[in-house]
Amino acid sequence: MTQTPSSFRCVLRNVAFALAAFFTLVTGPSALAQTNDMADKGERIYNNYCQTCHGESLINSGQSFDLRKLKVSEKSRFENSVQNGKNQMPPWKGVISPSDMEFIWAYIRTLANDKEINVAP
**Would you tell me how many other CB atoms lie within 10 Å of the CB of residue 95?**
11
Q: For each of the chain's 121 residues, which pLDDT tens digit applies?
A: 455 556 766 676 766 666 666 655 555 555 555 678 899 999 999 999 999 999 999 998 888 999 999 999 999 999 999 999 999 999 999 999 999 999 999 999 999 887 665 555 5
- Give every CB contact of residue 112 below 8 A, 6+ residues apart in sequence: 67, 68, 69, 70, 71, 72
Which CATH entry fits the domain spanning 5-111: 1.20.1250.20, 1.10.760.10, 3.40.50.2300, 3.40.50.720? Answer: 1.10.760.10
0.75 exceeded by the pTM?
A: no
For the chain, the domains span 5-111
Q: Which amino acid is at 80?
A: N
Sign of the alpha-carbon dihedral angle for 102, 105, 110, 115: negative
Greatest Cα pair distance, the chain, in angstroms, is 45
